[in-house]
Amino acid sequence: MAGARESIHGQWSSRWMFILAATGSAVGLGNIWRFPYVTGENGGGAFVLIYLLCVAAVGIPIMMGETLIGRRGRQSPINAMRALALEEGLSANWRFLGWLGVVAGFIILSFYSVVAGWSVAYVFYVGGGAFAGTDATASAALFESFTGSALRVIGWHSLFMVMTGIIVARGVSGGLEQAVKWLMPALFVLLLVVVGYAMSTGDFGAAVNYLFAPDFSEVTGESVLAALGQAFFSLSLGMGAIMIYGSYLPAATSIPRTIGLVAVCDTGVAMLAGLAIFPIVFGFGLEPGSGPGLVFVTLTIAFGHMPFGQLFGALFFVLLSVAALTSAISILEPVVAWLVESFKWSRAKASSASALSAWVLGVGSALSFNEWADLQLVGKTFFDWCEFLSTTVMLPLGGLLVAIFVGWRMSQRSTMEELGVSDGFFYRVWRVLVQVIAPIGVLLIFGNALVIFLKDVGVLD
């Protein structure tokens, strides 16, 4: 029954447009900013291996599940979940899965926009020569003095949020498709340039060793949870972004092939980012676990020394900002689509109202690096809490429910029809993954982390 419904918001003009948009959503700060620094905080190789396992066994099957729900429901996640649940004879309460996504989306967008704002600011710092001939200490000092200024960080955060709101207000295909077509490949090429530079001047051997030689003594329940959260964050899962993009997918497109390609691109970019950053970390004696500033401190050292570094550096941060923008719009889109469907608001009104709300929350994250830096709850700032709760808790939880819905609650006939496959090897594997592996994986990882937490706070010993 694929294509029985139509989305009131429009449709991608082709399968390729979906691939570009979904890749635009997946590839962003998660790959270039978050992946390297979370890897650094969790000790390297073993974390990377677990991350790759999470992507393959949990992420990709759930991504197909989200896309098929979106395309079959052809509405915002809240309304699509409700419509499909009723169609399958289930409780309309499944719509709360959509709600969980909306809340997670707000939180993610709020801190995402703050970090994206740093990237926009760095276009000007790097382009203006602030890092010419810099070293590790000077580069770290500049990052700290920049993020130490509440006014500046809030200013760039505001600019980024306004851009996100404007693009979403203009709708699915107005300009966005065009931008993604050129800018994503350009980012990829520039990343290769930085990897080339890091290979020739940094400690490439140490980096490869760090990233790909697993040392399991570093693995804890928390790092496995972090790997799972990172897989969801990077693939844009668990909050309805891929679901809403799936709702604009033409009926005849093969979901498995399309999603496979998106996931491979996303993972490839994360690995490249690691290979660009860690040679510099080790070559310049930096600390891999130094936190959210990692990319901003390391890459700027490379740009400060390579020929045409000012130009390449500025270009790199332009592209990173664009990659962040194509992700941010996918975080805002599910909420806006829902407001338009349910309250008949115009897209302009819906996107200004929701961008403004996320902006307010983001101010808290912006202040976490300066005025509120000491305001901590069990060692985490407001920013850390937003990141932790949304990425590590809410996204895997949303994903778990998606897996249960497509694996256990929807009829086999519906899922097979929507995936466009017959009851063969591929379908069986997918079903085992969403029915058993993904839910058990998420639950085990959650359970384990809970035990560690209870031990930490002294409830268990």
CA distance 16 to 431: 26
The piece of 4-12, 257-265, 297-305, 324-332 that touches ligand PHE (CB under 6 A) is: 324-332
Shortest spacing between CB 108 and ligand PHE, in angstroms: 5
Q: Which of 163, 239, 318, 416 binds ligand PHE (CB under 6 A)?
A: 239
CA distance 383 to 364: 7
Interface with ligand PHE (CB under 6 A), residue total 15
The piece of 3-11, 21-29, 339-347, 396-404 that touches ligand PHE (CB under 6 A) is: 21-29
Q: Which is nearer to ligand PHE, 31 or 113 (CB)?
A: 31
* 8 A C-beta contact, residue 304 and residue 69: no
Shortest spacing between CB 327 and ligand PHE, in angstroms: 4
CA distance 327 to 408: 30
Q: Which of 147, 310, 330, 381 binds ligand PHE (CB under 6 A)?
A: 330
* 8 A C-beta contact, residue 381 and residue 70: no
Q: CA 188, 189, 192 angle in degrees (round to 5)?
A: 90
Shortest spacing between CB 326 and ligand PHE, in angstroms: 9
Shortest spacing between CB 395 and ligand PHE, in angstroms: 7
The piece of 15-23, 73-81, 129-137, 228-236 that touches ligand PHE (CB under 6 A) is: 228-236
Shortest spacing between CB 271 and ligand PHE, in angstroms: 14
* 8 A C-beta contact, residue 11 and residue 250: yes
Is residue 108 within the footprint of ligand PHE (CB under 6 A)? yes
* 8 A C-beta contact, residue 228 and residue 56: no
The piece of 24-32, 275-283, 361-369, 415-423 that touches ligand PHE (CB under 6 A) is: 24-32
Is residue 25 within the footprint of ligand PHE (CB under 6 A)? yes
Cα–Cα distance list, 227 to 43, 166, 442, 453 (Å): 12, 33, 11, 17
The piece of 313-321, 325-333, 374-382, 436-444 that touches ligand PHE (CB under 6 A) is: 325-333
* 8 A C-beta contact, residue 114 and residue 368: no
Please enumerate in sequence order all residues whose Cβ is within 8 A of that of 114, keeping only pairs 6 or more positions apart, or say none. 153, 157, 362, 365, 366, 383
CA distance 32 to 27: 8
CA distance 183 to 178: 9
Is residue 439 within the footprint of ligand PHE (CB under 6 A)? no
Shortest spacing between CB 328 and ligand PHE, in angstroms: 7
Is residue 233 within the footprint of ligand PHE (CB under 6 A)? yes
Is residue 236 within the footprint of ligand PHE (CB under 6 A)? yes
Is residue 265 within the footprint of ligand PHE (CB under 6 A)? no
DSSP 374-408: T--BTTB-HHHHHHIIIIIIIHHHHHHHHHHIIII
* 8 A C-beta contact, residue 190 and residue 312: yes
Length of the chain equals: 461
String marking each residue 275-304 x if it binds ligand PHE according to CB under 6 A:
------------------------------
- Tell me how far apart the 2 most distant CA atoms of the chain are, in Å: 65
Q: Which of 31, 79, 139, 414 binds ligand PHE (CB under 6 A)?
A: 31
The angle, 0 to 180 degrees and rounded to 10, between the axes of the packed helices 95-127 and 347-367 is 70
Q: Which two tokens stand for residue 397?
A: 């939880």
Is residue 331 within the footprint of ligand PHE (CB under 6 A)? yes
Q: Which is nearer to ligand PHE, 203 or 266 (CB)?
A: 266
Q: Which of 17, 22, 29, 183 binds ligand PHE (CB under 6 A)?
A: 29
Residues that bind ligand PHE (CB under 6 A): 25-26, 28-31, 108, 233-234, 236, 239, 241, 327, 330-331
